[in-house]
């Protein structure tokens, strides 16, 4: 009996090995056009994962970090998380009526889109703090999960989680198939992104680093412990906060990092500064037709999100970062286009 099991295991594994050989022969990045961006990825993976390569990286050190908004999914015209927080305002005001006539909540309730678009960063931060703290982590998570399942992007009329970039999904899978641990390192709220990252990108909560507030441990009236989300900022995971957050949460310097804006500059610099082969790539939103074209590099006015400035361009060139042009490098943009 035992022999039979072993024999069939061997047959099964033989087939698996044959299967793997077939998969290996296929293009791991079918949605990428041939070009310098695709080439940079393939060469990086080859040089860091081939035994005997002078730039070989041991399996446990293979860390790749990805910005989310604008790098893995659409961030224009407004970060998904901001949309969520604005839509939470009516429920918030219902629970705390004192806020109804207080700015910036009053403007949000007015529904005046132009006025809302003009809210200052400080006012947005006030809205984020009010709508994302003061509840238990389980309550927050349940509410955010419900919203992300139901809400739709106004242009594509699809859930936000379908607006990820197919070429980046292939890249995530390709890196993981080669032993890389893939992390999201986002300026967005860590708890918010964790709600959908596992299902959307196969990235588990413990591999999501983001802007994080403190929590407070306490007990309910039945003596059961729970955590409350506090309005106390622990990590602003933007700009210098990205390498700081990577040190705090991962404790290793990444070998590959991917971003799309000035907020990712320090993460890319920090990654490139390490020894050996390091890959730094930056997504340029230059496809007005299939997605968006924005940022001063396109001669368009600066926006609140996704600033790919001339200075960032210059730094990319100086430091050997590879620019990914959505227009030229990507055959398709979204997963639903491949179905």
> Can you spell out the DSSP letters for 228-282?
EEEEEEEE--STTHHHHHHHHHT-S--SEEEE-SGGGHHHHHHHHTSSS--EEEE
Question: Which of 14, 310 has the CB closer to a copy of itself?
Answer: 14
Question: Which of 63, 282 has the CB closer to a copy of itself?
Answer: 63
- Token pair belonging to 148: 């992300």
Core vs surface per residue 221-257: b (16+ CB within 10 A) or e: eeeeeeebbeeeeebbbbbebbbbbbeebbeebbbbb
| Interacting residues toward a copy of itself by CB under 8 A | 2, 6-7, 9-11, 13-14, 17-18, 21, 60, 63, 137, 181, 190-191, 194, 198, 204-206, 208, 212, 214-217, 224-227, 234-235, 240, 243-244, 247-252, 266, 269-270, 273
Min separation Cβ 41 and a copy of itself, Å: 23
Which residue from 253, 247, 151 is spatially nearest to 195, judged by alpha carbons?
Answer: 151
Question: Which of 18, 300 has the CB closer to a copy of itself?
Answer: 18
Question: Which of 72, 116 has the CB closer to a copy of itself?
Answer: 72
Which residue from 260, 249, 243 is spatially nearest to 69, judged by alpha carbons?
Answer: 260
Min separation Cβ 183 and a copy of itself, Å: 9
Min separation Cβ 18 and a copy of itself, Å: 6
Question: Which of 114, 220 has the CB closer to a copy of itself?
Answer: 220
Min separation Cβ 229 and a copy of itself, Å: 9
Residue 1 vs residues 5, 10, 14, 302: alpha-carbon distances, Å: 7, 14, 20, 70
- Inter-axis angle of helices 36-49 and 166-177, nearest 10: 10
Min separation Cβ 282 and a copy of itself, Å: 17
Question: Which of 33, 228 has the CB closer to a copy of itself?
Answer: 228
d(CA 299, CA 156): 25
Q: Is 77 helix (H, G, I), strand (E, B) or coil?
A: coil
Min separation Cβ 80 and a copy of itself, Å: 19
């Amino acid at each position: 009996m035992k022999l039979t099991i072993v024999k069939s295991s061997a047959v099964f594994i033989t087939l698996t090995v044959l299967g793997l050989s077939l998969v290996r022969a296929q293009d791991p990045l079918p949605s990428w056009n041939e070009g310098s961006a695709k080439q940079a990825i393939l060469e990086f993976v080859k040089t860091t994962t081939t035994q005997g390569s002078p730039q070989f990286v041991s399996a446990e050190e293979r860390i790749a970090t990805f910005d989310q908004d604008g790098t893995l999914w659409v961030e224009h015209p407004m970060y998904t998380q901001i949309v969520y927080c604005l839509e939470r305002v009516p429920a918030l005001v219902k629970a705390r009526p004192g806020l109804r006539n207080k700015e910036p909540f009053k403007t949000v309730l007015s529904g005046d889109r132009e006025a809302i678009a003009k809210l200052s960063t400080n006012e947005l931060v006030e809205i984020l703090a009010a709508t994302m703290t003061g509840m238990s982590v389980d309550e927050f998570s349940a509410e955010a999960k419900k919203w992300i399942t139901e809400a739709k992007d106004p242009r594509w009329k699809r859930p936000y989680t379908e607006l990820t970039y197919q070429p980046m999904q292939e890249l995530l899978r390709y890196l993981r198939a080669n032993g890389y641990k893939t992390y999201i390192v986002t300026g967005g709220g860590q708890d918010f992104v964790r709600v959908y990252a596992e299902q959307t990108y196969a990235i588990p909560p413990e591999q999501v680093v983001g802007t994080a507030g403190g929590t407070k441990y306490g007990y309910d009236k039945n003596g059961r412990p729970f955590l409350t989300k506090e309005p106390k900022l622990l990590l602003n995971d933007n700009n210098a906060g990205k390498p700081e957050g990577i040190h705090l949460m991962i404790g290793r310097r990444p070998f590959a990092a991917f971003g799309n804006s000035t907020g990712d500059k320090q993460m890319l610099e920090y990654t490139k500064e390490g020894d050996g082969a390091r890959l730094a790539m930056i997504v340029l939103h230059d496809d007005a037709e299939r997605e968006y074209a924005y940022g001063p590099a396109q001669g368009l006015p600066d926006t609140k999100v996704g600033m790919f400035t001339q200075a960032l361009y210059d730094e990319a060139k100086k430091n050997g970062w590879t620019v990914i042009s959505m227009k030229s490098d990507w055959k398709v943009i979204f997963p639903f286009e491949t179905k």
